Amino acid sequence: MDLREWVIGRGGIVARRAAADAGYSVDAVRRAARGGGVEIVRRHWIVAGTPPEPLVTAARAGARVACVSAARVRGWWMPGGIPPAVHLHRTPGSAATGLPQGFSGRVHWTNPIAPTGRDSLLESVEDSLAHIALCVGREDALVIWEAAARTERLDPAALRRVAWPGPAARELAEDVGGLSDSGLETYFTTRIRGMGLRVRQQVVIAGRPVDHLIGERLVVQVDGWEFHSSSAQRSADIAHDAELRLRGYTVFRFSYAHIVHDWPSVERTIARAVAAGLHL
């Protein structure tokens, strides 16, 4: 296979050592670079196509992608409003060279919590979580931590056993429940508990889990962007809501727009329901 196609097939950026292991000689790599098919970065990386920009920036800087940038590359759910600037990780004492001219991101100078492979351009999951705990507001940080737990299949109990370097990360590890199916559910749970209400997630009622159960009788479902992707799913939701009401539950549904852009009305609705005893 042509070297360029091979690199693109592996995400657009690979270590030269990996290319050698795959059978591409030093001369083959140099010929491809001279012909413009690939680019050699810092003698160690081969770039082709359009890999994620943070990875290329990290390769040029001799660093690893960190914090929220690593979260984005890994596909963790990201709250809106977090700046797109690239975050990098370097160990204390390493040379502060290689940053692109005009670099406006952030470099995290910390000792790693967990080791990573020599040819990885991403810091470890644990290091990303620790950096997010310091870089992002607590509510958004918890949303990202919950997304990481879901995407990376992290056991909340295992997260609490990590030797986190600071209190912010330790507190987040204590609060991760691993039950949210989306960042919206994490927002809702955190804010409702902030009102002093008892809320449980993924409680099975009438054969299906509900997003939230406040008290004993108030069910709240949160519908995100991808929710109700088919008429069959929507029909199933309507039928389940009807069954819940027949069993004496009050059922509310809130959308992305409600949670993100009109939280005061959501809070007021929940408060009125509690005042009316609908959660009992």
Per-position b or e across 92-102, b if 16+ CB within 10 A of its CB: eeeeeebbeee
How crowded is residue 280: how many other Cβ atoms within 10 Å of its Cβ? 9
Evaluate if residue 226 carries a pLDDT over 80.
Answer: no
Average pLDDT over the chain, rounded to an integer: 92
How remote is the C-alpha of 121 from its chain's centroid?
Answer: 17
For residue 108, what are the β-bridge partners?
89
- Choose the most confident range, by mean pLDDT, from 142-151, 180-189, 224-233: 142-151
- What is the pLDDT, as a whole number, of residue 228? 47
Query: What does the radius of gyration of the chain's CA atoms come to, in whole angstroms?
Result: 23
pLDDT reading at 58 higher than 70: yes
Q: Mean pLDDT throughout 148-173?
A: 95
The arithmetic mean of pLDDT across residues 148-157, rounded, is 94
Give the phi and the psi of residue 135 in degrees, each rounded to 5. -95, -25
Does residue 36 carry a pLDDT above 90?
yes
Q: Which residues, other chains included, contact 117 with Cβ-Cβ below 8 Å and sequence gap of 6+?
A: none
Strands (E), 10-103: 13-15, 39-41, 45-47, 64-65, 87-90
Q: What is the pLDDT of residues 181-218, one digit of tens each?
A: 888 899 999 999 999 999 999 999 999 999 999 999 99
Q: What is the pLDDT of residue 96?
A: 63
Give the tokens for residue 109.
């100078």
How confident is the model at residue 146, as a pLDDT? 93
Predicted pLDDT at 225? 53
Give 60-110 pLDDT, tens digit per residue.
Answer: 999 999 999 999 999 999 888 899 999 999 998 776 667 777 788 999 999
Percent of the chain with pLDDT over 70: 96
In DSSP terms, which residues pair with 130 in a beta bridge? none
Predicted pLDDT at 230: 65
List, in order of start, the domains of the chain with CATH numbers: 3-51 (no CATH), 61-175 (no CATH), 183-275 (3.40.960.10)
